[in-house]
Amino acid sequence: MDMKAAVDRLASNLGAEVVELLRRRLRQAVEAINARGFRRRKRATLWTGYAYGNLKEYFDWDLYFDNIFFSYLGESRYCRNNLEAFLDEQLACGFVSRTLLEPRARQHFKPFLCQIALLGSRQTGDYRWLKGRYFERLRKYLDYWFWYCDFDRNGLPVWDSADHTGMDNQGRRGGVMNAMEVEGVDLACYLTRELEAFAILAGKVGEPEASANANQHAAELKGLINQVFWHEGDGFYYDRNERSDEPVRVKSVAGLIPLWLGIVPTDRAERLVTQHLLNAEEFWLPYPVATWAKAEPDYYQGSRRGECNWRGPAWVPTNYMIFHGLEKSGYRDRARELAYRTFEMVMGEPDTREYYNAETGSGLGQNPFLGWSLLAYAMPLEYELGYDPTDIGREHIVPILSQALDIEF
């Protein structure tokens, strides 16, 4: 990677003064992380982006995206520390709660544990720590998804509820607490990536049969995603209600996640991107990507009663997935636009925020926020480098912020 050329392009596109401001913002973020983001628990130092306010909890998919940011700085310890902390609390059936301090009884850890393990191990080149105990726990955690969360045995597990999806208030698509009836298209996408990551880990620890089985399972799941969730009439991927056998025809950002897998056929990608993602009445607002189509009747920006709102505002982790999904699907110009507009949105606030108003760009939620929103600062650099740390097939994880902008942890 030509770091100097990439930084030169950033300076040309943003202005040298903005690049220097970016350096200052990143150094401030690292300083705040070191001051507030770490806590000791059972002899281990753990990381949480929710270090401010009264929450101070550890969450599942947050951990994956937070550790991508750490990888920009050459730091991998918290992939292992936090992952072990969660797996150490695993039940005999394989269940791992998606929260650590106050476990949620029926909300299994979203499918990111294997991706976290792979991200950390690729940085160090060391997979030995997984052999035995933790590899078996990862196997059991994956089995739990398919044995205990797939009631009709069609190969597609269900979410517990909207809260379980991480998109907290998307009740019309995810269901109410403990309903366990919605097969999430996003869930199937995360599980596919998780199976592919598990296959690589299995190969590294001398489990070739497990590796082959996981790859075969991932291939089958990709087929189901395109078979079950695609709605030809609407040109969109919808969740499916397992009990009614009907699509949940609500346009959520979850329906765009298949782009991240790179499995959307060309004709479908054209419809999904041009008719929906780039539609100013749906997802492509002044600060895209809206997490809930603007045309939906219960769309709104802002925050009511302090809740995390996923019915309209832009969230950096979903922007990040879709950014790389656009690249995988051949929409590189649109990927560039999304990377730079997300960067502009986050830089428009004096502090990094939890999420953002997709119409005005104003920050919402936790203030300041040390978690996954920090990815926005590196999205233009990732674009200019052609770098994707979420690519399951990528062998090397590069500390791009350290090397390109001299940001040290």
How far is Cα 408 from Cα 400, in angstroms, rounded to an integer? 11
> Is residue 86 one of the residues assigned to a domain?
yes
Helix extents (H) in 312-352: 316-328, 332-347
Residue 92 identity (one-letter amino acid): A
Backbone torsions φ then ψ of 196, nearest 5 degrees: -65, -40
> Is residue 105 one of the residues assigned to a domain?
yes
Spatial contact of 113 and 193, defined as CB atoms under 8 Å apart:
no
* Structural domain boundaries, residue 136: 54-250
Position 407 scores a pLDDT of 97
Where do we find the tokens 């991932």?
218
Exposed/middle/buried for residue 42 (C-beta within 10 Å: 0-12, 13-18, 19+): exposed
Position 267 scores a pLDDT of 98
> Is residue 78 one of the residues assigned to a domain?
yes
Position 385 scores a pLDDT of 98
- Give the rounded distance of the alpha carbon of 20 from its chain centre: 28
> Is residue 164 one of the residues assigned to a domain?
yes
Tally of domains within the chain: 1
> Is residue 7 one of the residues assigned to a domain?
no
Spatial contact of 222 and 263, defined as CB atoms under 8 Å apart:
yes
Position 52 scores a pLDDT of 67
Position 53 scores a pLDDT of 62
CATH number at residue 244: 1.50.10.10
Backbone torsions φ then ψ of 59, nearest 5 degrees: -115, 165
Position 138 scores a pLDDT of 98
> Is residue 100 one of the residues assigned to a domain?
yes
pLDDT mean values, one per 10 residues, the chain (409 residues): 96 98 97 90 88 79 97 96 96 97 93 98 96 96 97 97 96 90 98 98 98 98 98 98 97 98 98 98 98 98 89 98 98 98 98 97 94 98 98 96 96
Spatial contact of 139 and 147, defined as CB atoms under 8 Å apart:
no
> Is residue 325 one of the residues assigned to a domain?
no
Position 286 scores a pLDDT of 98
Peptide bond into 368 cis (omega under 30): yes
Please give the torsion angle defined by the CA atoms of residues 73, 78, 80 and 81, in that order, rounded to the nearest 10 degrees: 160
> Is residue 215 one of the residues assigned to a domain?
yes
